[in-house]
């Protein structure tokens, strides 16, 4: 109970003060931003870091929400099987559509089922939840079904990533996790959902390695 309360308090504090880098829970920092020194990352190392970034971005725990202009969240990953023939995903059940608002405001809001609560635990097949309001990522942050090259070009394009350089991307990850949002949930999704690969800290490190290495993109 005590644990629960202090988490709620810290999330509230982060929201109010807009703290970004010092996101902490009661057991210490959730993730740190430690970029390697300038000039120490080779292009090959940066491309290796991006390969890991791609494995995370294209993983169901991230990509199911980062979908395009059909505004339809996806259900993919082992716990969401079975899928239609020839497919490894399906559309969100119950005809859910996030509409242009990306939160389903025009039809059935996501919050009808997905609560906003710092507690990440949910039972298998019940609606998952986390500390910020459940919604699709903006349409231009589309990852679902995209190739490594396509996700790479989107991530380094400020016109399509919310105006962020690589440090801004790393800061987004740490800030979102500090609010107990999707980025933290992706590695602790509960139910019987498969977690995103590597770890949050590794993902933040990879973002800075790729950044210091000049943000090279693989060719498809
Ligand atoms: C429930 C839906 C949802 C899930 C799941 C989700 N995201 Fe997002 N994501 C969002 C929303 C909404 C935004 C827009 C927030 C903003 O720009 O401030 C966003 C923005 C981002 C951004 C900012 C820049 C960009 O180009 O996308 C990154 C990076 C990101 N998410 C990473 C992740 C990672 C990594 C995971 C999985 C561990 C993940 N997201 C899972 C909804 C989601
Ligand atoms: C009628 C209830 C309901 C509504 C409304 C709803 N969802 Fe869901 N959602 C669920 C349930 C239940 C699950 C988990 C199903 C499972 O695990 O088998 C889920 C899972 C998801 C997932 C998969 C998360 C993962 O594990 O990768 C995404 C993405 C998602 N919902 C997005 C949305 C969005 C966006 C909205 C609003 C536009 C929304 N949902 C509205 C019930 C709902």
pLDDT digits (tens, 9 = 90+) for 62-88: 999 999 999 999 999 999 999 999 999
pLDDT exceeds 50 at position 178: yes
**Residue nearest to ligand 1 atom 14, measured at CA:** 137
What distance in Å separates the CA atoms of residue 50 and residue 44, rounded to the nearest whole number?
Answer: 10
Closest ligand (CA of 78)? 2
Whether 111 and 97 have beta carbons less than 8 Å apart is answered as no
Give the number of whichever ligand sits closest to the CA of residue 104.
2
Name the average pLDDT for the chain: 90
User: pLDDT grade, residue 7 (50/70/90)?
Assistant: very low
Give the model's confidence band at 29: pLDDT under 50 very low, under 70 low, under 90 confident, else very high.
low
The pLDDT of residue 90: 98
Least confident residue range of 3-7, 60-64, 194-198: 3-7
- Are 91 and 162 a contacting pair, CB within 8 Å? no
Distance 20 CA to ligand 1 centre (A): 15
Q: Where are the alpha helices (DSSP H) in the chain?
A: 2-17, 43-57, 60-63, 148-155, 166-178, 182-185, 200-212
Q: How many helices (H) and strands (E) does the chain have?
A: 7, 4
154 — pLDDT class (breaks 50, 70, 90): very high
Q: What angle do CA 98, 136, 144 make, to 5 degrees?
A: 105
Ligand 2 contacts (CB < 6 A) are 60-61, 64-65, 73, 75, 79-80, 92, 94, 96, 98, 104, 108, 110, 112-114, 125-128, 134-136, 189, 191, 193
Among all ligands shown, which has an atom nearest to the Cα of 94? 2
- Average pLDDT (82-99) is 97
Quick one: average pLDDT of 80-105?
97
Beta bridge partners of 130: 116
DSSP letters spanning 127-171? PP-BSS---PPPTTS--TT--HHHHHHHHT-TTTTTS--HHHHHH
Q: What is the percentage of the chain residues whose pLDDT exceeds 90?
A: 86
Which of 4-8, 126-130, 159-163 has the lowest average pLDDT?
Answer: 4-8
**How far apart are the CA of 129 and the centre of ligand 1, in A?**
14
pLDDT at 27 over 90: no
Between CA 180 and CA 11 the distance in angstroms is 7
| Centre of ligand 2 from the C-alpha of residue 210, in Å | 32
Q: What's the CA-to-centroid distance between 84 and ligand 1, angstroms?
A: 27
Query: What's the number of CA atoms in the CB half-sphere (13 Å) around residue 16?
Result: 6
Q: What's the CA gap between 168 and 46, in Å, rounded? A: 17
Q: Are strands 74-76 and 89-91 parallel, antiparallel or unpaired?
A: antiparallel
Q: What is the predicted pLDDT for the residue at 11?
A: 41
Which residue has the least CA distance to atom 30 on ligand 2?
Answer: 73
| Distance separating alpha carbons of residues 207 and 56, to the nearest angstrom | 11
Alpha carbon distance 176, 168 (integer Å): 12
pLDDT for position 155: 98
Residue 1 has pLDDT above 80, yes or no: no
Cα of 116 from ligand 2 centre, angstroms: 13
**Residues 120, 4: Cα–Cα separation, whole Å:** 11
């Amino acid at each position: 109970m005590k644990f629960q309360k202090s988490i709620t308090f810290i999330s509230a504090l982060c929201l109010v003060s807009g703290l970004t880098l010092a996101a902490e829970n009661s057991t210490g920092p959730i993730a740190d931003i430690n970029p390697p020194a300038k000039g120490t990352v080779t292009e090959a190392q940066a491309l290796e870091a991006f390969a890991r970034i791609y494995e995370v971005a294209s993983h169901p725990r991230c990509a199911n929400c980062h979908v395009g202009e059909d505004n339809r969240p996806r259900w993919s990953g082992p716990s969401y099987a079975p899928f239609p023939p020839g497919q490894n995903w399906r559309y969100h059940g119950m005809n859910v559509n996030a509409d242009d608002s990306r939160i389903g405001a025009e039809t059935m809001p996501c919050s009808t089922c997905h609560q906003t609560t710092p507690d990440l635990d949910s039972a298998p097949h019940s609606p998952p939840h986390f500390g910020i309001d459940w919604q699709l990522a903006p349409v231009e942050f589309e990852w679902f079904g995209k190739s490594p090259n396509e996700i790479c070009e989107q991530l380094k394009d400020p016109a399509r990533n919310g105006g962020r350089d690589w440090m801004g991307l790393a800061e987004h990850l740490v800030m979102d996790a500090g609010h107990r949002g999707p980025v933290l949930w992706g590695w602790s999704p509960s139910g019987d959902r498969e977690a995103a690969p590597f770890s949050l800290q590794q993902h933040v490190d990879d973002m800075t390695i790729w950044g210091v290495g000049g943000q090279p993109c693989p060719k498809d």
